[in-house]
Amino acid sequence: MLLYTHPACLAHDPGTGHPESPARLRAVLETLDDPRFAAIERSEAPRATREQLGRVHGAAMIDRIFASAPCEGHAQLDPDTAMSPDSLQAALRAAGAVCAAVDALIDGAGTRAFCAVRPPGHHATRDTAMGFCLFNSIAIGAAQALARGIERVAIVDFDVHHGNGTQDIFWNDPHVLYASTHQSPLYPGTGARSETGAGNVVNAPLPPGAGSAQFRSAMSGIILPRLAEFRPQLLMISAGFDAHRLDPLASLNFDNDDYAWVTRELVDVANAHAQGRIVSSLEGGYSLAALRESTAAHVAALME
Protein backbone atom coordinates (compact mmCIF):
# COMPACT_ATOMS: atom_id res chain seq x y z
CA MET A 1 0.00 0.00 0.00
CA LEU A 2 1.38 3.37 -1.08
CA LEU A 3 0.58 6.82 0.31
CA TYR A 4 1.28 10.04 -1.56
CA THR A 5 1.07 13.46 0.09
CA HIS A 6 3.05 16.70 0.37
CA PRO A 7 3.41 19.50 2.96
CA ALA A 8 2.30 22.02 0.32
CA CYS A 9 -1.18 20.51 0.49
CA LEU A 10 -1.37 21.62 4.13
CA ALA A 11 -0.32 25.16 3.22
CA HIS A 12 -3.25 25.81 0.84
CA ASP A 13 -5.49 28.24 2.76
CA PRO A 14 -8.84 29.25 1.21
CA GLY A 15 -9.52 31.68 4.07
CA THR A 16 -10.78 31.87 7.64
CA GLY A 17 -13.93 29.85 8.18
CA HIS A 18 -13.74 28.07 4.82
CA PRO A 19 -14.87 24.44 5.19
CA GLU A 20 -12.03 23.16 2.98
CA SER A 21 -9.44 23.94 5.64
CA PRO A 22 -5.94 22.58 6.27
CA ALA A 23 -7.35 20.87 9.38
CA ARG A 24 -8.99 18.33 7.06
CA LEU A 25 -5.71 16.99 5.76
CA ARG A 26 -4.10 17.16 9.19
CA ALA A 27 -6.92 14.93 10.49
CA VAL A 28 -6.34 12.43 7.67
CA LEU A 29 -2.57 12.32 8.17
CA GLU A 30 -2.92 11.97 11.95
CA THR A 31 -5.26 9.04 11.37
CA LEU A 32 -2.77 7.36 9.04
CA ASP A 33 -0.03 7.74 11.67
CA ASP A 34 -1.84 5.05 13.71
CA PRO A 35 0.31 1.89 14.14
CA ARG A 36 -2.18 -0.19 12.16
CA PHE A 37 -1.11 1.77 9.07
CA ALA A 38 2.62 1.44 9.77
CA ALA A 39 3.14 -0.83 6.75
CA ILE A 40 2.09 1.89 4.31
CA GLU A 41 4.96 3.12 2.13
CA ARG A 42 4.93 6.93 2.19
CA SER A 43 6.15 9.06 -0.70
CA GLU A 44 6.35 12.80 -1.35
CA ALA A 45 4.11 13.82 -4.22
CA PRO A 46 5.84 15.46 -7.21
CA ARG A 47 4.40 18.43 -9.06
CA ALA A 48 2.19 17.67 -12.02
CA THR A 49 3.70 18.92 -15.28
CA ARG A 50 2.05 21.26 -17.77
CA GLU A 51 1.80 18.32 -20.15
CA GLN A 52 -0.11 16.28 -17.57
CA LEU A 53 -2.47 19.19 -16.78
CA GLY A 54 -3.00 19.87 -20.48
CA ARG A 55 -4.38 16.42 -21.18
CA VAL A 56 -7.61 17.32 -19.36
CA HIS A 57 -7.62 21.13 -18.98
CA GLY A 58 -7.58 23.85 -21.60
CA ALA A 59 -4.45 26.00 -21.91
CA ALA A 60 -6.40 29.17 -21.07
CA MET A 61 -7.64 27.68 -17.79
CA ILE A 62 -4.17 26.51 -16.80
CA ASP A 63 -2.70 29.93 -17.60
CA ARG A 64 -5.50 31.63 -15.63
CA ILE A 65 -4.85 29.58 -12.49
CA PHE A 66 -1.08 30.14 -12.68
CA ALA A 67 -1.66 33.87 -13.19
CA SER A 68 -4.19 34.05 -10.34
CA ALA A 69 -1.82 32.72 -7.67
CA PRO A 70 -1.40 35.65 -5.25
CA CYS A 71 1.85 36.73 -3.63
CA GLU A 72 -0.10 37.55 -0.48
CA GLY A 73 -3.69 37.45 0.71
CA HIS A 74 -6.29 35.65 -1.37
CA ALA A 75 -7.44 35.51 -4.97
CA GLN A 76 -11.11 34.59 -5.36
CA LEU A 77 -11.83 32.44 -8.43
CA ASP A 78 -15.54 32.06 -7.66
CA PRO A 79 -17.67 32.52 -4.51
CA ASP A 80 -16.48 29.14 -3.16
CA THR A 81 -12.98 28.82 -4.57
CA ALA A 82 -10.01 30.87 -3.39
CA MET A 83 -6.24 30.75 -3.76
CA SER A 84 -3.61 31.71 -1.20
CA PRO A 85 0.13 32.05 -1.98
CA ASP A 86 0.64 28.29 -1.52
CA SER A 87 -2.47 27.08 -3.35
CA LEU A 88 -0.91 26.66 -6.78
CA GLN A 89 1.83 24.42 -5.41
CA ALA A 90 -0.76 22.45 -3.41
CA ALA A 91 -2.89 21.86 -6.51
CA LEU A 92 0.15 20.83 -8.56
CA ARG A 93 1.24 18.39 -5.85
CA ALA A 94 -2.29 17.00 -5.53
CA ALA A 95 -2.47 16.25 -9.25
CA GLY A 96 1.13 15.05 -9.23
CA ALA A 97 0.35 12.65 -6.39
CA VAL A 98 -2.33 10.90 -8.44
CA CYS A 99 -0.07 10.71 -11.51
CA ALA A 100 2.79 9.30 -9.43
CA ALA A 101 0.46 6.73 -7.88
CA VAL A 102 -0.77 5.68 -11.32
CA ASP A 103 2.81 5.32 -12.56
CA ALA A 104 3.83 3.30 -9.52
CA LEU A 105 1.00 0.83 -9.94
CA ILE A 106 1.56 0.45 -13.68
CA ASP A 107 5.27 -0.10 -13.01
CA GLY A 108 4.49 -2.82 -10.48
CA ALA A 109 5.59 -0.99 -7.32
CA GLY A 110 2.30 -1.84 -5.60
CA THR A 111 -1.36 -2.51 -6.20
CA ARG A 112 -3.08 0.08 -3.98
CA ALA A 113 -2.39 3.77 -3.44
CA PHE A 114 -4.09 6.52 -1.46
CA CYS A 115 -3.41 10.18 -2.20
CA ALA A 116 -3.87 12.30 0.94
CA VAL A 117 -4.05 15.64 -0.81
CA ARG A 118 -5.97 18.87 -1.10
CA PRO A 119 -7.45 20.93 -2.66
CA PRO A 120 -10.00 18.43 -3.96
CA GLY A 121 -10.43 18.21 -7.71
CA HIS A 122 -13.57 16.58 -9.05
CA HIS A 123 -15.55 19.80 -9.68
CA ALA A 124 -12.86 21.30 -11.92
CA THR A 125 -14.08 21.00 -15.52
CA ARG A 126 -12.00 21.14 -18.66
CA ASP A 127 -12.13 24.94 -18.62
CA THR A 128 -13.24 26.09 -15.15
CA ALA A 129 -11.95 25.87 -11.57
CA MET A 130 -14.90 25.69 -9.18
CA GLY A 131 -16.35 24.13 -6.04
CA PHE A 132 -13.14 24.37 -3.94
CA CYS A 133 -11.24 22.66 -6.84
CA LEU A 134 -8.41 24.07 -8.98
CA PHE A 135 -7.18 21.17 -11.13
CA ASN A 136 -9.03 17.87 -11.49
CA SER A 137 -6.49 15.53 -9.92
CA ILE A 138 -8.37 12.26 -10.49
CA ALA A 139 -8.98 13.12 -14.15
CA ILE A 140 -5.34 14.09 -14.63
CA GLY A 141 -4.34 10.74 -13.14
CA ALA A 142 -6.75 8.86 -15.40
CA ALA A 143 -5.30 10.65 -18.42
CA GLN A 144 -1.83 9.68 -17.21
CA ALA A 145 -2.92 6.04 -17.16
CA LEU A 146 -4.24 6.30 -20.73
CA ALA A 147 -0.97 7.91 -21.82
CA ARG A 148 0.89 4.98 -20.26
CA GLY A 149 -1.07 2.49 -22.35
CA ILE A 150 -3.95 1.54 -20.08
CA GLU A 151 -7.01 1.13 -22.31
CA ARG A 152 -9.87 1.11 -19.76
CA VAL A 153 -9.92 3.27 -16.63
CA ALA A 154 -12.90 3.35 -14.27
CA ILE A 155 -13.45 6.24 -11.85
CA VAL A 156 -15.89 5.65 -8.98
CA ASP A 157 -16.94 8.79 -7.11
CA PHE A 158 -18.84 8.46 -3.82
CA ASP A 159 -18.44 12.07 -2.71
CA VAL A 160 -21.80 13.57 -1.66
CA HIS A 161 -21.45 16.17 -4.44
CA HIS A 162 -21.54 15.07 -8.06
CA GLY A 163 -18.16 15.22 -9.80
CA ASN A 164 -19.35 17.43 -12.63
CA GLY A 165 -15.78 18.21 -13.66
CA THR A 166 -14.75 14.61 -14.11
CA GLN A 167 -17.96 13.90 -16.02
CA ASP A 168 -17.35 16.93 -18.24
CA ILE A 169 -13.78 15.93 -19.04
CA PHE A 170 -14.57 12.33 -20.00
CA TRP A 171 -18.09 12.87 -21.39
CA ASN A 172 -17.28 11.36 -24.79
CA ASP A 173 -14.31 9.13 -23.91
CA PRO A 174 -15.12 5.40 -24.17
CA HIS A 175 -11.79 4.55 -22.51
CA VAL A 176 -12.99 6.03 -19.18
CA LEU A 177 -16.05 4.92 -17.22
CA TYR A 178 -17.23 7.54 -14.71
CA ALA A 179 -19.67 6.25 -12.08
CA SER A 180 -21.05 8.39 -9.25
CA THR A 181 -23.35 8.20 -6.26
CA HIS A 182 -24.24 11.62 -4.85
CA GLN A 183 -27.01 13.58 -3.19
CA SER A 184 -29.52 15.22 -5.51
CA PRO A 185 -30.64 17.95 -5.42
CA LEU A 186 -27.38 19.50 -4.22
CA TYR A 187 -24.43 21.49 -5.57
CA PRO A 188 -23.44 21.53 -8.42
CA GLY A 189 -26.84 20.47 -9.78
CA THR A 190 -25.56 17.87 -12.26
CA GLY A 191 -25.57 14.08 -12.13
CA ALA A 192 -29.05 13.06 -13.27
CA ARG A 193 -29.50 9.44 -14.36
CA SER A 194 -30.17 10.73 -17.86
CA GLU A 195 -26.60 12.08 -18.11
CA THR A 196 -24.81 9.17 -19.74
CA GLY A 197 -22.15 10.67 -22.01
CA ALA A 198 -21.15 8.22 -24.73
CA GLY A 199 -22.57 5.42 -22.61
CA ASN A 200 -19.56 5.75 -20.32
CA VAL A 201 -21.20 7.87 -17.57
CA VAL A 202 -23.26 6.20 -14.83
CA ASN A 203 -25.05 8.41 -12.31
CA ALA A 204 -26.95 7.03 -9.32
CA PRO A 205 -28.34 10.09 -7.49
CA LEU A 206 -29.63 9.66 -3.94
CA PRO A 207 -32.34 11.80 -2.29
CA PRO A 208 -31.62 13.88 0.81
CA GLY A 209 -31.76 11.70 3.91
CA ALA A 210 -30.70 8.51 2.11
CA GLY A 211 -28.44 6.21 4.10
CA SER A 212 -26.75 2.83 4.01
CA ALA A 213 -29.56 0.84 2.39
CA GLN A 214 -30.04 3.23 -0.53
CA PHE A 215 -26.29 3.65 -1.06
CA ARG A 216 -25.59 -0.07 -1.08
CA SER A 217 -28.55 -0.70 -3.36
CA ALA A 218 -27.30 1.90 -5.86
CA MET A 219 -23.81 0.45 -5.79
CA SER A 220 -24.90 -3.19 -6.01
CA GLY A 221 -27.71 -2.66 -8.51
CA ILE A 222 -26.29 0.00 -10.82
CA ILE A 223 -22.59 0.79 -10.46
CA LEU A 224 -20.91 -2.53 -9.62
CA PRO A 225 -22.55 -4.37 -12.55
CA ARG A 226 -21.40 -1.64 -14.95
CA LEU A 227 -17.87 -1.87 -13.57
CA ALA A 228 -17.84 -5.62 -14.11
CA GLU A 229 -19.13 -5.15 -17.66
CA PHE A 230 -16.48 -2.49 -18.38
CA ARG A 231 -13.60 -4.63 -17.01
CA PRO A 232 -11.32 -1.75 -16.00
CA GLN A 233 -7.58 -2.26 -16.18
CA LEU A 234 -7.18 0.40 -13.48
CA LEU A 235 -9.76 1.46 -10.91
CA MET A 236 -9.66 4.98 -9.47
CA ILE A 237 -11.70 6.39 -6.59
CA SER A 238 -12.76 9.96 -5.90
CA ALA A 239 -12.90 9.37 -2.15
CA GLY A 240 -15.12 12.06 -0.69
CA PHE A 241 -16.41 11.34 2.81
CA ASP A 242 -19.03 14.11 3.01
CA ALA A 243 -21.97 11.72 2.59
CA HIS A 244 -21.30 10.75 6.22
CA ARG A 245 -24.18 11.45 8.60
CA LEU A 246 -22.00 13.90 10.60
CA ASP A 247 -21.03 16.05 7.62
CA PRO A 248 -22.32 19.66 7.78
CA LEU A 249 -22.48 20.37 4.04
CA ALA A 250 -25.08 17.80 2.96
CA SER A 251 -27.76 15.47 4.28
CA LEU A 252 -26.93 11.86 3.44
CA ASN A 253 -26.49 9.39 6.30
CA PHE A 254 -23.61 7.06 5.47
CA ASP A 255 -21.46 5.62 8.25
CA ASN A 256 -17.93 4.23 8.49
CA ASP A 257 -19.11 0.70 7.69
CA ASP A 258 -20.49 1.94 4.37
CA TYR A 259 -17.08 3.22 3.33
CA ALA A 260 -15.42 -0.05 4.38
CA TRP A 261 -18.10 -2.02 2.51
CA VAL A 262 -17.88 -0.10 -0.75
CA THR A 263 -14.08 -0.19 -0.67
CA ARG A 264 -14.10 -3.97 -0.30
CA GLU A 265 -16.55 -4.25 -3.20
CA LEU A 266 -14.26 -2.11 -5.35
CA VAL A 267 -11.24 -4.17 -4.30
CA ASP A 268 -13.10 -7.24 -5.57
CA VAL A 269 -13.66 -5.54 -8.93
CA ALA A 270 -10.01 -4.52 -9.13
CA ASN A 271 -8.85 -8.02 -8.24
CA ALA A 272 -11.07 -9.50 -10.95
CA HIS A 273 -10.19 -7.14 -13.78
CA ALA A 274 -7.38 -4.70 -12.91
CA GLN A 275 -4.64 -6.85 -11.36
CA GLY A 276 -5.81 -5.44 -8.02
CA ARG A 277 -4.80 -1.90 -8.98
CA ILE A 278 -6.64 0.95 -7.23
CA VAL A 279 -5.65 4.61 -6.92
CA SER A 280 -7.82 6.53 -4.45
CA SER A 281 -7.64 10.28 -3.94
CA LEU A 282 -9.21 12.40 -1.20
CA GLU A 283 -12.03 14.67 -2.29
CA GLY A 284 -14.54 16.15 0.20
CA GLY A 285 -15.36 15.51 3.86
CA TYR A 286 -15.92 18.41 6.24
CA SER A 287 -16.61 16.85 9.64
CA LEU A 288 -13.17 16.18 11.09
CA ALA A 289 -14.46 13.35 13.28
CA ALA A 290 -16.18 11.67 10.32
CA LEU A 291 -13.17 12.29 8.10
CA ARG A 292 -10.85 10.52 10.53
CA GLU A 293 -13.11 7.51 10.95
CA SER A 294 -14.07 7.22 7.28
CA THR A 295 -10.48 7.52 6.06
CA ALA A 296 -9.41 4.81 8.49
CA ALA A 297 -12.21 2.51 7.30
CA HIS A 298 -11.41 3.17 3.63
CA VAL A 299 -7.64 2.75 3.86
CA ALA A 300 -7.89 -0.32 6.08
CA ALA A 301 -10.17 -1.95 3.48
CA LEU A 302 -7.74 -1.02 0.70
CA MET A 303 -4.98 -2.77 2.65
CA GLU A 304 -6.90 -6.02 3.16
Domain count, the chain: 1
User: What pLDDT, in 10s, does the model give residues 246-273?
Assistant: 999 999 999 999 999 999 999 999 999 9
Catalytic residue among 123, 161, 162, 298: 123
User: What pLDDT, in 10s, does the model give residues 39-94?
Assistant: 999 999 999 999 999 999 999 999 999 999 999 999 999 999 999 999 999 999 99
User: What pLDDT, in 10s, does the model give residues 172-231?
Assistant: 999 999 999 999 999 999 999 999 999 999 999 999 999 999 999 999 999 999 999 999
User: What pLDDT, in 10s, does the model give residues 133-161?
Assistant: 999 999 999 999 999 999 999 999 999 99
Identify whether 123 is a catalytic site residue: yes
> Which pTM does this prediction carry?
0.98
Domain with 108 in it: what CATH number?
3.40.800.20
The answer to whether 282 touches 122, Cβ cutoff 8 Å, is: no
Structural domain boundaries, residue 53: 2-303
